[in-house]
Amino acid sequence: MSAARLLVRALRDPADVLDLDAAGWTALLAAARAESLIGSLAHRLEGQPVPKRVARLLEDVRRDYAYARTQALWEAEMARRALAPTGVPVILLKGTAYVAAGLAAGQGRSIGDLDILVPRERLDAVEQALLAAGWEWVKPDAYDDLYYRRWMHELPPLMHQTRDRMIDVHHTILPLTARPRPDAAAMIAESIELVNGLRILGPEDMVIHAVAHLFADGDLAGGLRNLWDLDRLLRAFSAEDAFWDRLGERAERHQLRRPVARALRLARRLYGTPVDVQLAGRRRLSDRLFEARLLARNGWGQATRKGLRLAFYIRSHWLRMPPLMLARHLLVKASR
Amino acid sequence: MRHEIQLQVGPVGFRVGSHWRAPIEALRGLYEGYPVPEACDFTVRLEAEKPWRRWLRPSVAIHGDYMLPDAAPLPLAQGLLAAEMGMNLQMALGQKRYLLLHASSVEKDGRALLMTGHSGSGKSTLAAILGERGWRLMGDEFALLDLADGRLHAFPRAVSLKNGAISVVAGITDETRLGPLLVGTPKGSIRHLRPRADALARMAEPAVPALILFPRFGRDLAAAVRPVGAAEVFMRLTQASTNYVALGEAGFAGLARLVHAVPARAIDYPDTEAALALVAELWKEPA
């Protein structure tokens, strides 16, 4: 069994892994670290009768992630203060949004950058305000800069000069070159204000953003973690009336019905997530490839299945841009 | 991974895997007698950066649970050094239970002497020599400060002796405890020293920090002792810590407590005999 599958089992049902031997625990922990899921695992295993040394290690992890959470919230507050004069609402995305909203998806979630969503027509004001507040450009390359500005769904990344933390300013959730065109304005319109003035996406949009991030925009690196986010989000939101109907409508509106369906199937398959069968649709042959890609990690934390990884890497570029543009882009990158 | 070894060093369990046999065999020799951990805190992987570099001009990339994106690979002949660096890297980036001080430490009567300073200040050499002369060697690379109770935990890895220190220490110890001589490393020549049996046998015993020294070695220096103010001690120790920032408030509180409780001195010394005399004198003073 791949260590990634062991990790999935542990997250899905902690009781399932309590009889592991020392080597099994070591493999599980290494895979969890490599997939950035060690914090989630530590949270899931809290209070379980795990071996003493493992318990101690997980306790360290929980303490570390509690601190990371504080740091992420502080960074969000810094962005709120920086953008307050512009009057642009700050909508938190991904990990920071989960912890700010107190969602289960935020428990033990690793958070690297601060991701925010702002209206595209206000990008200039946002950029100026951030630069004035001490953020600076990370990518000095002119081609990269122009590429980001013309084609990407976000500004080139900015780093704060003293806090060393990165901010990604999104104006929509997929590159402009991608075929689906999500309705960013609708996402912003239906965002929800938190008590501290920061905002998060509405439940359906939050799920759809997680899906877009997972299936429509990348090579599935970190996929197990993103799918775990989805599991947590869906378990929390699906208790509400007519959630699945709204999710279906919203997926249609953002032109992401198929990725949403695939995400539901894979979440159910790997994490046992309760999903709407209608929306998820029938299992497809290609699901197996996605599953194999998600589980390509061994007990040393090493990436396995090189060929499959390469195929998904190529797919990610294929999804991002039309062939001619891709060729030109790769040519520029290669000639450096 | 084809080749593997598991090592318990103080409170930390390591697993080191390698594509090649040689680095693991070298570790086995150097760490003979170390216990096998119940579960491993950290994994280190020594692997070829590119598949062909496994055989063709083999080059060891240092990977593991925690990685630095721009860490340069080492030639296979320096595989042992790569393993050591890999373990250090896991500690520096991943260890959050203890405040890590880049310092050497030795113990007597349950009380610990902590020595820290820039590379080349002679703290490793001093610790190695004290470890041969009746002190218990607690560690060379890292001192582990317990944030809960303020004690130091032993982390007695092999002592890394560099350049001039190699012959100094080789002269006073038995050959069997020395590892292979590694020449032409990024830090010059390196030879590792396995701590004495008592350091291994008692590595689970923490000690109360009793004295902090900032040694400075120079052949032209006159032996001297200077007091160091608390604020300066605090700043120097934050600079000597690899995870002070990552520990947040707990790190600040733990370090402040150490600085308040333990006297600190800066010492200059022209040779090891002078240093030993200074240490003996300072150790006698009531704290």
A172-181 per-position pLDDT tens digit: 988 888 888 9
- The type of residue at A59 is E
Query: Rounded mean pLDDT of chain A?
Result: 93
Q: Band the pLDDT of A165: cuts 50, 70, 90.
A: very high
Tell me, what's the pLDDT at A336?
74
Tell whether B253 is within 8 A of chain A (Cβ): no
Name A199's bridge partners.
Answer: A91, A193
Lowest-confidence segment of A184-198, A214-228, A311-325, B22-36 by average pLDDT: A311-325
Give the pLDDT confidence score for residue A152 in this predicted structure.
84
Residue A335 or A111, more confident: A111
* B125 burial via Cβ count (<10 Å: 0-12, 13-18, 19+): buried
In chain A, the percentage of residues whose pLDDT exceeds 90 is 79
Q: Which two tokens stand for residue A25?
A: 């625990």
Q: Is the pLDDT of residue A330 over 80?
A: no
Identify the closest residue of chain A to B51 by CA–CA distance.
Answer: A306
How far apart are the C-alpha atoms of A28 and A31, rounded to whole Å? 5
Q: What are the residue boundaries of the structural domains of chain B, listed by start?
A: 3-94, 98-284
Decide: A180 and A256 in contact? Cβ < 8 Å: yes
Q: How far is A102 from chain B (nearest CA, A)?
A: 22
Interface test with B, best of A25, A26, A297 (most B CBs within 10 A): A26
State whether B65 and A22 contact (CB < 8 Å).
Answer: no
Return the minimum-mean-pLDDT range out of A273-277, A282-286, B9-13, B169-173: B169-173
Cβ separation A29–B39 shorter than 8 A: yes
Q: Which tokens hold the place of A273? A: 């997530």
Residues on chain A touching B19 (C-beta within 8 angstroms): none
CB atoms within 10 A of CB B115: 26
pLDDT value, residue A317: 81
Per-residue confidence (pLDDT) for residue A80, from 0 to 100 = 97
From A56's Cα to the closest Cα of chain B, the distance in A is 9
Tokens of residue B190, six digits? 């390196």
Cα→Cα distances B161→B94, B137, B180, Å: 25, 14, 11
pLDDT over 70 (residue A300): yes
Q: Token pair of B216, please?
A: 């400075």
Rounded distance between C-alpha atoms, residue A222 and residue B258, angstroms: 40
Confidence of residue A39 (pLDDT cuts 50, 70, 90): very high
Residue A10 has pLDDT above 60, yes or no: yes
- Count of all residues that appear for chain A in the document: 336
Pairing of strands B188-193, B159-162: antiparallel
The residue behind tokens 């976000």 is A154
**Which three-class secondary structure string do you get for chain B?**
CCEEEEEEECCEEEEEEECCHHHHHHHHHHCCCCCCCCCCCEEEEEEECCHHHHCCCCEEEEEECCCCCCCCCEEHHHHHHHHHHHHHHHHHHHCCCEEEEECEEEEECCEEEEECCCCCCCHHHHHHHHHHCCCEEEECCEEEEECCCCCEECECCCEEEECHHHHHHHCCCCHHHECCCEEEECCEEEEEECCCHHHHHCCCCCEEEEEEEEEEECCCCCCEEEECCHHHHHHHHHHHECCCCCCCHHHHHHHHHHHHHCCEEEEEECCHHHHHHHHHHHHHCCC
What's the mean pLDDT in A240-252? 96
Which are the contacts of A84, defined by CB distance < 8 A and separation ≥ 6? none
Measured N-to-C along each axis, helices B272-284 and B123-132 cross at an angle, to the nearest 10 degrees, of: 70
Q: What is the CA radius of gyration of chain B?
A: 19
pLDDT at residue B25, as a whole number: 96
Higher pLDDT, B81 or A146: B81
pLDDT tens, position by position, B193-210: 999 999 999 999 999 999
pLDDT value of position B287: 53
Residues above pLDDT 70, as percent of chain A? 99
Q: B151: exposed, middle or buried (C-beta count within 10 Å: 0-12, 13-18, 19+)?
A: middle
Residue ranges in chain B whose pLDDT is less than 70: 286-287
pLDDT score recorded for residue A147: 81
CATH of span A3-335:
3.30.460.40
What residue type is B11 in one-letter code? P
CB A3 within 8 Å of CB A28: yes
Confidence of residue A329 (pLDDT cuts 50, 70, 90): confident
B40 contacts in A (CB within 8 Å)? 26, 29
Q: What is the pLDDT at residue A82?
A: 97
B1 contacts A67? CB cut-off 8 A: no
Residues of B in contact with A26 (CB under 8 A): 15, 39-40, 43
Q: How far, in Å, CA of B213 to CA of B278, rounded?
A: 10
Q: Which residues does A184 contact at the CB level (< 8 Å), separation at least 6? A: A117, A119, A120, A171, A172, A173
Q: Cβ distance A262 to A290 under 8 Å?
A: yes
Q: Which two tokens stand for residue A127?
A: 């950029």
The pair of three-digit structure tokens given for residue B177, joined into one six-digit string: 């405890």
Are the CB atoms for A16 and A10 separated by under 8 Å?
A: yes
Sequence length of chain B is 287
User: For residue B248, what is the nearest residue in chain A, using CA coordinates?
Assistant: A67
CB B32 within 8 A of CB B192: no
Q: Nearest by CB to B40, which of A26, A56, A60? A: A26
Q: Are strands B208-217 and B264-269 parallel, antiparallel or unpaired?
A: parallel
**How far does CA A59 lie from the centroid of its chain?**
24
Distance of CA B247 to the CA centre of its chain: 20
pLDDT at residue number A49: 96
Span A39-48, average pLDDT: 97
pLDDT at A145 over 90: no
Looking at the complex, report in whole angstroms how far the Cα of residue B184 sits from the nearest Cα belonging to chain A.
30
- Do B45 and A302 count as a contact with CB atoms less than 8 A apart? yes
Buried b (16+ CB within 10 A) or exposed e, B56-69: eebbbbbbbbbbee
Distance from CA of B187 to the nearest CA of A (A): 29
Q: Give the pLDDT of residue A331.
A: 79
Closest by CA to B71, choosing from B92, B85, B87, is B85
The stretch A192-210 carries a mean pLDDT of: 96
Find how far residue B171's CA is from the centre of its chain.
Answer: 21
Instruction: Convert chain A into a string of H (helix), E (strand) and C (coil).
Output: CCHHHHHHHHHHCHHHHCCCCHHHHHHHHHHHHHCCCHHHHHHHCCCCCCCHHHHHHHHHHHHHHHHHHHHHHHHHHHHHHHHHHHCCCCEECHHHHHHHCCCHHHCCCCCCCEEEECCHHHHHHHHHHHHHCCEEECCCCHHHHHHHHHHCCECCCEEECCCCCEEEEECCCCCCCCCCCCCHHHHHHCCEECCCCCEECCHHHHHHHHHHHHHHCCCCCCHHHHHHHHHHHHHHHCCCCCHHHHHHHHHHHCCCHHHHHHHHHHHHHHHCCCCCHHHHCCCCHHHHHHHHHHCCECCCCCECCHHHHHHHHHHHHHHHCCHHHHHHHHHHHHCC
